[in-house]
Structure 1
Amino acid sequence: MKPSDFDYLKVIGKGSFRKVGFFYSYEKHEGYYGVKVLPKQIIVKRKEQQHVMVERSVLLKGLQHPFLVGLHFSFQTLNTLYFVLDYANGGELFYHLQREGSFPETRAAFYTAEMVMALGYLHSLDIVYRDLKPENILLDSEGHVTLTDFGLCKEGVAIGGIMHSFCGTPEYLAPEVLQGHPYNRTVLFEMLYGLPPFYSRSKAEMFDNILHAPLTLRSEGGGGGGSLDACSLLEGLLERDVSKRIGVSHDLVSAQKTLPFIPEVTGPCDISYIDPEFTRQPVNASVSERCQAGRTSKAFPGFSFMNLVE
């Protein structure tokens, strides 16, 4: 595979260290894909090579689960890595939360149930997902959850296994991670209330809130909130004492089978649910290596992959 095999249609996202997400079409398979483009120089400078290879490994498993984004191809040029992924154009959960403020409890419960299924599948493979946040949860064209961005996953963590790395997004760090303690796999709120539970614009204050501030939960009413059952669940999930923190009951999985929201998209080229902050950016300014087919470096051996089932 090489960059020139694809037609570059739109920029659909941007992340850390200049990761760029593109909406591509690939004529040989008459399909549409999301493509994540990673600059090697920055990855090597930050010593993130292992994270990239873990992400590739986890992505290969995503093709076997409906709520995990799957990898179709991966390839590299001299300066850049490419992940060719399932394309989901229902928008980021973050985009919908920004637009609507919060979700009704039934809708939040539906997304939570699908995320639990995706995370449970990863846990069954001894993989821990360590960057769960609305920006990493996409909706497909039917309104189902698609979990993406596996760079901070940890493989080989069996039940009872512990981890030590300080990683994740500040707003969503568990207290034991923030304190530098070993942590395990026990690591809804934002969908119901519109903001993370201990959020502050000051990072220092937010960290102090995570460690010490009382959890404030509003019951249903204006400005978001949840039922008594939802509040009880959140109190259990946000328990600071890891030994008392609850897991999520399998009852959630079958709590609601009717899709609470179906994106009104006319087809794969409909990008109305993707933030214009990305889609307005010129594609050509972000694509600079289309002619460098086949040129690779030695920093990422075994990176390339092609799904031969397609």
Structure 2
Amino acid sequence: TQDQRVGANIPCYPNVSIPCYNEQRDKKKRYTVYKVMVNVGRHEWFVFRRYAEFDKLYNTLRKLFPSLNLKIPPKRIFGDNFDPEFIKQRRTGLHEFIQRLVSHPRLRNQPDVRAFLQMDKSQNFSDPSEDEDDKVNMTLSKIERAKPTDFDFLKVIGKGSFGKVLLAKRKLDGKYYAIKVLQKRVILNRREQKHIMAERNVLLKNMKHPFLVGLHYSFQTTDKLYFVLDFVNGGELFFHLQKEQTFPEPRAKFYIAEMASALGYLHSLNIVYRDLKPENILLDSEGHIVLTDFGLCKEGISQAETTSTFCGTPEYLAPEVLRKQPYDNTVDWWCLGSVLYEMLFGLPPFYSRDTHEMYDNILHKPLMMRPGASNTAWSLLQALLEKDGTHRLGSRDDFNEIKAHYFFSEINWDDLEQRKVPPPFTPNVNSPHDITNFDPEFTGETVTNSVCYTEESIVNAIVMEADDAFLGFSYAPPSDDSFL
């Protein structure tokens, strides 16, 4: 097969194309750069070429092979070189030109053609020392990249601002994953690409922690982004809290301890989570918590640094965030206190249906004691829900302060982080693809074909890496767990 020939280092015929709408324009320098996709067996890369480079290759080949009557779109002396219709016609002509080159045995092996397509440099990345105008930007897929058609998309299990989360089965081995499918257009319209890239970066760091969802692959097509994540099917904490209204204190303590461990790990990487809430906390099939949804994470915030971005879910916003003051990772400990309060009493601590009133409560209303919780629980709540972030529990020594609180005196943290502490509740999960713990509002929705097919043809992740907005999004692990 073709793939076997690649493995044996026997040259294959390349597939080449210039995908639609992938040219880049530099109006200062008055030229358009076309992105050429090259595929040889399992390897796939792209090169950027200007029209002048196509023209130079054409003139060389025309002299060497006059009988072949090669053609490319002519130069434009008058008119707007950035006219969309002109660019479209030129792209079509250049596409036909390179298609002819690789389909002809003598042409595709000609040194100038191989150099143009970087056929003999396919194991190398572009040299950063090359002159910027002449540089060929190339990225090589050293391992097989994922694509939508590698999966069967079975059920919708969640929805968000930018897309949906679906249960999917990988065709290769039948493994189940949760795949988050996001619409590029919506992300770009809302200028949220930085949050999406931050989520991808944080997910890559999660693999070493037992209470954070793991990323297996990320890839993209012309119009969508895909996160391939652990399928965690014990249900959202929100789902169980809605059914039971409140949790007994020992159960709440177990969940809060695992959440604190996850937050402490993120803080050790200088990441502030910023959006802890029951909807973002999942239970796995054994009953351990798994933190998910890292779209609001802020990277690069150490204990001594701050940020001032206004974001998060209203019920759980810390006072310093509402005041638009600089804040640090102690906002996560405020959120932890809010979630503990909600688990014990059924509502967030300063909740009101009137958002303005709720904000005023968060800023000014004292925390009111309610019956049904131990003194140590109240002590922890008061320390976490301290309105002054500089005096909040965790403000001095972060997670170490949380662990040392008397509320957690019975917790063996080493055992907890090795998942040796038995969960107080086991979700009803009957199979690796059980979805009974997900909201029927989602699971009853029809999975559309557009999830795994795009109108402009499916383009592997590696080809789209030149899209500046999502540069570096795609990921696949350098391990046996790949699509080879």
Same fold (TM over 0.5): yes
Aligned residue for 1:245? 392
Instruction: Report deviation, 1:243.
Output: 2.3
CA distance in 2 between partners of 1:232 and 1:241 (Å): 16
Correspondent of 2:459 among 284, 291, 294: 294
Higher RCO (Cα < 8 Å, 6 or more apart):
1
1:197-249 per-position Cα deviation (integer Å, ceiling 9, x unaligned) = 111111111111111112122121xxxxx211101110111111222211253
Which residue pairs with 1:10 in the alignment? 155
Q: Shift of the alpha carbon at 1:308?
A: 2.9
Distance 2:185 2:309 in 1: 23
Please report the TM-score for the alignment, with normalisation by the length of structure 1. 0.94
The two structures, once aligned, show a CA RMSD in angstroms of 1.6
Q: For the residues of structure 2 that align with 1:260 and 1:229, how far apart are their CA atoms?
A: 20
Q: Are positions 1:65 and 2:229 aligned together? A: no
Structure 1 unaligned blocks of 5 or more: 221-225
CA contact (8 A) 1:219 1:228 kept: no
Supply the distance in 2 between the matched residues of 1:80 and 1:90 (Cα, whole angstroms). 27
Deviations 1:180-213 (A, max 9, x none): 1111111111111111111111111111111111
Distance, in Å, in 1 between the alignment partners of 2:174 and 2:153 is 14
What is the distance in 2 between the residues matched to 1:302 and 1:181? 32
Rounded to whole Å, the distance in 2 between the matches of 1:294 and 1:307 is 19
Partner Cα distance (2:366, 2:271) in 1? 31
- Which residue of structure 2 aligns with residue 196 of structure 1? 348
The equivalent of 1:254 in structure 2 is 412
Indicate if the aligned counterparts of 1:26 and 1:32 stay in contact, CA closer than 8 A: yes
Matched residue, 1:267: 431
Instruction: Tell me, in whole angstroms, the C-alpha distance in 1 between the residues paired with 2:177 and 2:194.
Output: 25
The structural deviation recorded for 1:128 is 0.8
Task: Measure how far apart 1:159 and its partner are.
Answer: 1.4
3-state SS of the aligned residue for 2:470?
coil
Matches within 5 A, 1:1-310: 1-17=146-162, 19-187=163-331, 188-220=340-372, 226-247=373-394, 248-251=401-404, 252=408, 253-254=411-412, 257-284=421-448, 287=451, 289=453, 292-294=457-459, 296=464, 298=467, 299-309=469-479, 310=481
SS in structure 2 of the partner of residue 157 of structure 1: coil
For structure 1, which segment, 239-248 or 93-102, has the greater mean C-alpha deviation from structure 2 after superposition?
239-248
State the alpha-carbon separation in 1 of the partners of residues 267 and 388 from structure 2: 21
CA contact (8 A) 2:222 2:454 kept: no
Distance 2:159 2:368 in 1: 33
Runs of 5+ unmatched residues, structure 2 = 1-145, 332-339, 395-400
* CA positional deviation for 1:290: 5.5
Alignment: residue pair count: 304
Using the aligned pairs only, state the percent identity. Answer: 58
Contact (CA 8 Å) 1:219, 1:231: kept in 2 or not? no
1:223 equivalent in structure 2:
none
Name the SS for the 2:166 alignment partner: strand
SS in 2 for 1:108: helix
Structure 1 or 2: more helix by fraction: 2
Residues 286 and 132 (structure 1), Cα distance of their counterparts in 2 relative to 1, 3 Å cut: farther
Counterpart secondary structure, 1:99 = helix
Deviation at 1:286, TM superposition (A): 6.5
Instruction: Give 3-state SS (helix, strand or coil) of 1:272's partner.
Output: coil
Aligned-partner Cα distance in 1 for 2:325–2:193: 25
8 A contact 1:4–1:290 mirrored in 2: no
Do the aligned residues in 1 keep the contact of 2:181 with 2:451 (CA within 8 Å)? no
The Cα of 1:288 is off from its aligned counterpart by 6.1
> Residue 261 of structure 1: SS of its match in structure 2?
coil
Structure 1 or 2, whichever has the larger Rg, is 2
Q: Which amino acid aligns with 1:305?
A: Y
Asked if 2 retains the 8 angstrom alpha-carbon contact of 1:59 and 1:150, the reply is yes
Give the whole-Å Cα distance in 1 for the aligned partners of 2:209 and 2:188. 31
